[in-house]
């Protein structure tokens, strides 16, 4: 009768982990910005308009902020929507429209640079179309269905649980 001997020893046995990590995990923060030299706040990098390390909800929200800001500027200058109506009707209309456009750009830029104030500005920018529409025509839902869908999507992306947790933990 022939007998075979094992040529390798079993040092450890792999047991099922049932979906749990096999090692203790703690996420490390990977900074792509400046190294802190005892500065209370790092300067804003104006060349950083997008952060690929953020969750998908914040990445899409950042792009929507830039797109909405561009279209708000076009509407303010030569459009046929509520921003043009406010510009032509009220003395403060053009200034209010510029503040609206600046909120979009500042929110996107500051969110890409991981600033808590940028997240708050972005939420204010996302809510601003409803406020401006209410001032213009007393109906915050008076725009086209597609425009309304993008405005609601931006608010939903910014207020999503994953977005709020990421900005609470990682933003400065």
SS (H, E, C) the chain: CCCCCCCCCCCCCCCCCCCCCCCCCCCCCCCCCCCCCCCCCCCCCCCCCCCCCCCHHHHHHHHHHHHHHHHHHHHHHHCCCHHHHHHHHCCCHHHHHHHHHHHHHHHHHHHHCCCHHHHHHHHHHHHHHHHHHHHHHCCCCCCCHHHHHHHHHHHHHHCCHHHHHHHHHHCC
Which residue ranges make up each domain of the chain? 56-170
Per-residue pLDDT of the chain (172 residues; tens, 9 = 90+): 666 666 666 555 555 666 666 665 655 665 555 544 445 667 888 888 888 899 999 999 999 999 999 999 998 888 778 888 888 888 888 998 899 999 999 999 999 998 999 999 999 999 999 988 888 887 777 778 888 899 999 999 999 999 999 998 888 8
Indicate yes or no: pTM above 0.75. Answer: no
């Amino acid at each position: 009768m022939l007998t075979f001997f094992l040529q390798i020893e079993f040092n450890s046995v792999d047991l099922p982990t049932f979906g749990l990590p096999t090692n203790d995990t703690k996420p490390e923060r990977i900074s792509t910005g400046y190294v802190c030299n005892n500065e209370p706040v790092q300067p804003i990098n104006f060349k950083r308009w997008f952060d690929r390390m953020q969750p998908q909800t914040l990445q899409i929200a950042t792009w929507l902020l830039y797109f909405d800001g561009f279209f708000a500027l076009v509407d303010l200058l030569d459009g046929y929507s509520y921003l043009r109506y406010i510009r032509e009707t009220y003395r403060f209309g053009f200034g209010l429209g510029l503040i609206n456009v600046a909120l979009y750009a500042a929110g996107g830029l500051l969110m890409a640079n991981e600033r808590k104030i940028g997240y708050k500005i972005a939420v204010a920018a996302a809510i601003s179309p409803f406020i401006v529409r209410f001032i213009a025509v007393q109906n915050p839902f008076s725009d086209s269905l597609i425009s309304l869908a993008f405005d609601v999507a931006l608010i939903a992306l910014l207020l999503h649980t994953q977005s709020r947790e990421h900005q609470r933990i990682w933003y400065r």
